[in-house]
Amino acid sequence: MSEIETIQAYYAASLGKDGRITRTQRQILAAALDLFAEKGYEEVGTREIAERAGVAEGTIFHNFVNKNGILDAIMQPIVKNILPTMLNTLDQAVLDSPNQTLEAFIVALVRDRVKFVTRNRASLAVILSQFFNNAEDRAAVLGMVSPAILTQATEAMERLKATGELVEWPNHMILQLVFSTIGGYLVEQVLYPQAATLSDQQVVHYLSDFLVNGLSPRRIPLQSDNTAS
């Protein structure tokens, strides 16, 4: 994953004539982000957004064409740029060192995600909400996982299984467990932004350790212990 980890940096690309985001646009986006995260897209009216942003209702349509245009402006940078980039980064790491251990692999994977979640809570709340509420938006999020990436991920898993680093479970199930663990952290952060009792570093440690142990091939002594009891 590269340096671009904040949404603001992406607005320039999609808004404004000369790659610049207007003060007005920023006000509207900030207001909408707050409100969407708090109440959900459907529950927020354009009048409300305009009021909180301190602009006229018409100004919203001047700048974003649609109510949906605001949502796009919030989701696009993450869905179209950051997440794909992140997935590519993951893949690159795997490709770079084919004989990497599961631990190193997972730690790298988790660390990036945790940082990202911490930095983009509000936007992720909106994306998460849309993901579960709108089939189209869900497709958009899922669509960014290109088949190529999936293929590469599958290859990585097979390689790790071959070297005895990964349990011999269906790849589909392994992926689900990895996503669940990271996703669960995401959900917690998004829903309780205030309760950050652990440092990012600690979280990375726990999640990685949990995943590594959960997905490592079962050792003989562990099995015998269980059998013995």
Partner DNA sequence: TATGAATGAGATTTCATTCAT
Partner DNA sequence: GATGAATGAAATCTCATTCAT
Residues contributing to the site for DNA (CB under 7 A): 17, 22-25, 44-47, 55-63, 65-68
191: partner contacted, choices DNA, a copy of itself, none (Cβ within 5-8 A by kind): a copy of itself
CA distance 164 to 168: 9
3-state helix, strand, coil in the chain (%, to 5): 75, 0, 25
- Interaction of residue 188 with a copy of itself, rule CB under 8 A: yes
Count other Cβ atoms within 10 Å, centred on residue 137. 21
Residue 29 Cβ vs DNA, minimum distance, rounded to whole Å: 12
Token pair for 83: 């997440």
Dist. CA 188–CA 224, nearest whole Å? 36
Alpha-carbon gap, residue 159 to 102, rounded angstroms: 10
Binding characters for a copy of itself, 90-129, by CB under 8 A (x = yes): -----------x-x------------------------xx
Residues in contact with a copy of itself by the rule CB under 8 A: 38-43, 101, 103, 128-129, 131-135, 138, 169-170, 172-173, 176-177, 179-181, 183-185, 187-188, 191, 197-198, 203, 206-207, 209-211, 213-216, 218-219, 221-222, 226, 229
